[in-house]
Amino acid sequence: FTNNDWWRDAVIYQIYPRSFSDANGDGNGDLQGVIDRLDYLQALGVDALWLSPFYPSPLADGGYDVADYCDVDPRLGTLDQFDELVAKAHERGIGIIVDIVPNHTSDQHRWFQEALAQGPESEAAQRYVFRQGKGEHGELPPTNWLSNFGGSAWESCGDGWYYLHLFAKEQPDLNWDNPEVRHEFLRVLTFWCDRGVDGFRIDVSHGLAKDLREPLRDRIDPTLMSPQATDGSDPLWDRDAVHDIYREWRDLFNQYTPAKYAVGESWSPFTTRIFQYAKPDELGAVFDFSMSKAAWNREEYRTTIERTHRYALAAETAPTWVLGNHDVPRIASRLGLPSGANIEQWVTSNGTNPPIDPALAARRARAAALVMLGLPGTAFVYQGEELGLPEDFDLTEDEIQDPNWERSGHYFKGRDGCRVPLPWQSDGPAFGFNATGASWLPQPAWFAQYATNRQIGDGASVLHLYCAAVALRKQWVANGTDFQFSWLTNEECPAPLLGWRLPSGMVVMANFSDSQPVALPQPMTVLLVSDATVQANTQVESVPPAATVWALPA
């Protein structure tokens, strides 16, 4: 990594370490597991790995409850193994991005333990947000603020006192008005920079700064987990003060050569606010989740792509493309509701598993992969997406560990269905996740058919499609810092096709009809098709239903 812009047209692969690969056989994936699979990741062709948290954690929220920001959870490995991972990834030209969780710590963090021991009025408690409750004896929470995981955001801690947690109660929110908190995170970031990481993913980056002036204000709509106004007036989310923090961080990142990359997970209903975080003097990049929420629908995809592209360029950053991550139902299931309904909402309101058409979901997910990888910018691939792995909807109440499960009144199964440990072998213990068969979440029997070993030799597999697309992308799609493409006209590419031309001359055409092939005005030479029945380097005269074609005009 010698240039500051390496990430702008990169493919970044997200690893959820507990579920990727388990070298020591304790049922939790680990860093050695990642080291052992570097050849696989290199063959896939990804430019960098983003590791979800691997820090010491009581795992109240899968590791997003950090007890020590400068160490590795003993179940996942050691700092020496982390250094080895960085070195070995770098030998292969693969970068390492780590996840920073600055909005809250674990309740087991030394700071929070000190605050509890010394009391809510102590100096130690000023690193968090402790307040007295309302009512005669403080029996009511200080405000109407709600936790993103359900219920009040205030947890009672005795004598009418409460502390703030916008996520699980085991995740107390930090007080970013406290200079000690600011200093500590600069120290944490420096610690990882000096260990050679290439960048950071910033968890809930629109949080951190809160309006803690007395009296605290109720929110107008407490159910919103993102800001209710564009003017920074929400007491909790997307406040202007948070941008000062990132300007400080950017100064630190720019002291390194190349500058450290950072991508924010910023939520807002207002796209313009999201992209504020991506400005060059702040984080520099931000996830745009629109594609991970879009229904498989031509108009929706076109609008989404156009908007992401336009806002990214205006903020002088790269467009980012996301089909999934560890928080949302997997793409290979999500696109399988023929009505285009949102799976989470469907399950929450119907209380049963969604009526997914698996074959349709699989076809559309392959097509969506070539849409995403056929766009210039930074593409994020969540582990297992490259296998076409569906969501596991069959976890039972006893098996589910995600605290977010509470939020939907226990209907939607929470986020564990996309966190089930990956299948590497179609038979043997834990489908090759480890050698012992232990697994922190059970794997369904049907995982066998998605196992990596089955897909490697199969030219029609999803894995094969991803490998081919990532490789071809470097030549035909990635265009450094330019990101230009132009929509094909209706004559070149009639609806229900959506198509665009890249500066390389390659065209991408996605057919949003599930049943009709669409004839092309002119035959083209195929580079890649998501429909495995079409051969590369042949002429195509039509785009198959629910498929995407990468082609060169004759």
User: Which residues are known catalytic residues?
Assistant: 203, 265
Considering beta carbons, is residue 441 or 468 the nearer one to ligand TEU? 441
- Interface mask (CB under 6 A) for ligand TEU, residues 238-277, using x and -? ---------------------------x-x----------
Site size toward ligand TEU, by CB under 6 A: 14
Q: Is 164 in the site for ligand TEU (CB under 6 A)?
A: no
Beta-bridged to residue 549, according to DSSP, are 509, 529
For the bound state, the minimum distance from the C-beta of residue 472 to ligand TEU, rounded and expressed in Å, comes to 30
Burial 268-289 (b: 16+ CB within 10 A, else e): beeeebbbbbbbeebbbbbbbb
For the bound state, the minimum distance from the C-beta of residue 502 to ligand TEU, rounded and expressed in Å, comes to 31
For the bound state, the minimum distance from the C-beta of residue 412 to ligand TEU, rounded and expressed in Å, comes to 9
Considering beta carbons, is residue 337 or 488 the nearer one to ligand TEU? 337
For the bound state, the minimum distance from the C-beta of residue 102 to ligand TEU, rounded and expressed in Å, comes to 10
Q: Is 204 in the site for ligand TEU (CB under 6 A)?
A: yes
Lookup: tokens for 435: 């050698």
Q: Is 82 in the site for ligand TEU (CB under 6 A)?
A: no
Q: Is 356 in the site for ligand TEU (CB under 6 A)?
A: no
Q: Is 288 in the site for ligand TEU (CB under 6 A)?
A: no
Handedness of CA 344, 345, 346, 348 (dihedral sign): positive
Handedness of CA 295, 500, 318, 307 (dihedral sign): negative
Q: Is 100 in the site for ligand TEU (CB under 6 A)?
A: no
CB 131 within 8 A of CB 140: no
User: 387-416: which residues touch ligand TEU (CB under 6 A)?
Assistant: 404, 415
Burial 190-219 (b: 16+ CB within 10 A, else e): eebbeebbbbbbbbbbbbbbbeeeeebeeb
Q: If you search the block for the tokens 């665009």, which residue do you land on?
A: 500
For the bound state, the minimum distance from the C-beta of residue 128 to ligand TEU, rounded and expressed in Å, comes to 15
> What is the CB-side half-sphere exposure of residue 252 using CA atoms within 13 A?
22
Q: Is 548 in the site for ligand TEU (CB under 6 A)?
A: no
User: 139-158: which residues touch ligand TEU (CB under 6 A)?
Assistant: 148
End-to-end CA distance of the chain: 37
Considering beta carbons, is residue 66 or 318 the nearer one to ligand TEU? 66
Amino acid found at 395: L
Q: Is 203 in the site for ligand TEU (CB under 6 A)?
A: yes
Other Cβ atoms less than 10 A from the Cβ of 358: the count is: 12
Identified binder of ligand TEU from the candidate list 20, 82, 167, 346, rule CB under 6 A: 167
Separation between Cα atoms, residue 76 and residue 30, nearest integer Å: 4
DSSP 3-state percent helix, strand, coil across the chain (nearest 5): 30, 15, 55
Amino acid found at 422: L
Q: Is 289 in the site for ligand TEU (CB under 6 A)?
A: no
- Interface mask (CB under 6 A) for ligand TEU, residues 47-66, using x and -? --------------x--x--
Identified binder of ligand TEU from the candidate list 327, 406, 482, 514, rule CB under 6 A: 327
Could you list the residues that contact ligand TEU (CB under 6 A)? 61, 64, 101, 148, 167, 203-204, 225, 265, 267, 326-327, 404, 415
